[in-house]
Every structure is written in structure tokens, then in C-alpha cells.
A and B are shown apart, each in its own frame.
Chain A
Amino acid sequence: DAGVIQSPRHEVTEMGQEVTLRCKPISGHDYLFWYRQTMMRGLELLIYFNNNVPIDDSGMPEDRFSAKMPNASFSTLKIQPSEPRDSAVYFCASSSRSSGQSSYNEQFFGPGTRLTVL
């Protein structure tokens, strides 16, 4: 298995531009998470999906941020318009819940997208 795939790995853009981050979860996983890593706040959960449906988006900082999961193998996180304070590393993670097992399932992270907004 290739693991969680994220693209691009690095993104440099100018303030005001639209940014789209992409994620392909591990096949068969039914949970997908978007995190943002900053020095001040560590890993913050932005939003997570279960079976392609957004469950909790309370971590999304502003209306400028939106996330979609059109199918089980693809998700996007969009920032429009981007601002310098959005500069961070964005991680996607996926996990699965199998019947009969613990409800706490290991999240597998992608390599992250380092976003720089100038």
C-alpha cells in the first residue's frame, strides 16, 4: 500500500490567491482528517469525514477554508483567498473502523503539504 498521498508537497503562493491541497487516503479507510501544524498550536484538527460526509468542521478557522470529499479516494482542502498567516504544514490522515475492534483506530498520516503564502 502506498499510504496516504498528498499533493503538492510544497506550495508557494501570493496573498489573495486560491490554494488547493489534495489527499488520497489509504484504500478501504472510511475516515479522513485534515490537520494543520504550526509551532504555536501543534497539530490542529481542521475537519474530518466519515464515509465521505463531513462530521466535524469546527476546527476550520474561517470561511476562507473549505474541504470536500467527492468520493472515498479523494479529498481537497481549499483556501480562498489565502493569507500569510495560513502558512503552515497541512496533513491529511486516514483511518478505518472495523466492527468488533476498538473504536480508537490509528490514524495514518500523509507526508504533508508545506504551504507558504507571501
Chain B
Amino acid sequence: DQQVKQNSPSLSVQEGRISILNCDYTNSMFDYFLWYKKYPAEGPTFLISISSIKDKNEDGRFTVFLNKSAKHLSLHIVPSQPGDSAVYFCAASAFGNQFYFGTGTSLTVIP
């Protein structure tokens, strides 16, 4: 039973444009959300997070939006760069150290 879902397995975007990656969750107890980025043959690395008390968090070109009523979060990358090409995992947690991850979205930024 997948509590965190990423329904788009892949996404292609032109360099310089905005990339929007989406994530849905089912557990209303989740109060902390994260995005991880994964390059081939490497482990995932932390990218950005957001607490449920916020609806937006920015870090440079990366912004995460949280819509609690819709149980939806999204990651915006502006402007997209070829080096952003990777698999992005959404994760969620409820009051603890255990993270529930989605299936990932493979982003390709076309030069």
C-alpha cells in the first residue's frame, strides 16, 4: 500500500524552463516532507524539505509547495539546468525517523 505516490514516472523539460514534479500522499498524519535527488549509480541525496506548518519553502532554484487539504506537494525547479537531470523521490514522515518514499520521477533537462 503506497502511502506516497509519484504518478509521473518521467518528465522532460527544456533548459531554462520550469520543472514541476508532483507528489501525493494518503496519510493525514504526515507532518514532514522531503525531496531527494538521485543520480545513476549513486545513493539519493537530500534536496529540500518542508514542515506541515508551512505551505512553501525555497532554496535557490528549488521551491517546494505543500497543499495539506489536497494532500499534495510539488517541487519547482526554476530555471532547469541539464545538471538537474536525475530521479527525484518524494518522502514523508509522521513524528519520527521513518520516511515513506514514492516511486520516483525521472527528470530529463534538454539542453
Partners in one complex: yes
Cα A43 to Cα B44 with chains together (Å): 10
B82-96 contacts to A (CB < 8 Å): 89, 91, 93, 95-96
Interface size on A, residues (CB 8 A): 27
Instruction: Give the shortest distance, in Å, between A53 (CB) and chain B (any CB).
Output: 13
If A41-B103, A42-B103 touch, whether A56 touches B43 (CB-CB below 8 Å) is no
B46 touches A97 (CB 8 A): no
Contact with B along A79-112 (1 / 0, CB 8 A): 0000000000001010101000001111111111
In this assembly, does A60 line the interface, its C-beta being within 8 Å of a C-beta of chain B? no
In this assembly, does B28 line the interface, its C-beta being within 8 Å of a C-beta of chain A? no
Instruction: Give the shortest distance, in Å, between B79 (CB) and chain A (any CB).
Output: 26
B44 touches A42 (CB 8 A): no
CB neighbours (8 Å) of B97 from chain A are 31, 48, 50, 95, 97, 103-105
CB neighbours (8 Å) of A2 from chain B are none
Instruction: Give the shortest distance, in Å, between A30 (CB) and chain B (any CB).
Output: 10
A-B contact count (CB 8 A): 60
A91 touches B99 (CB 8 A): no
Instruction: Give the shortest distance, in Å, between A8 (CB) and chain B (any CB).
Output: 13
Instruction: Give the shortest distance, in Å, between A114 (CB) and chain B (any CB).
Output: 8
Instruction: Write the chain A residue with the least CB distance to B9.
Output: A39
Cα A19 to Cα B89 with chains together (Å): 27
Which among B2, B32, B43 is the interface contact of A93 at CB below 8 angstroms?
Answer: B43
A38-60 contacts to B (CB < 8 Å): 39-45, 48, 50, 56
In this assembly, does A4 line the interface, its C-beta being within 8 Å of a C-beta of chain B? yes
Cα A107 to Cα B35 with chains together (Å): 11
Instruction: Write the chain B residue with the least CB distance to A50.
Output: B97
B6 touches A111 (CB 8 A): no
Which residues of A does B touch, CB under 8 Å? 4, 31, 35, 39-45, 48, 50, 56, 91, 93, 95, 97, 103-112
Which residues of B does A touch, CB under 8 Å? 2, 6, 32, 34, 36, 41-46, 49, 89, 91, 93, 95-104
A-B contact pairs, 15 of them (CB 8 A): A4-B43, A31-B97, A39-B103, A42-B104, A43-B44, A45-B100, A50-B97, A91-B44, A103-B95, A104-B93, A107-B46, A109-B36, A109-B44, A110-B43, A111-B42
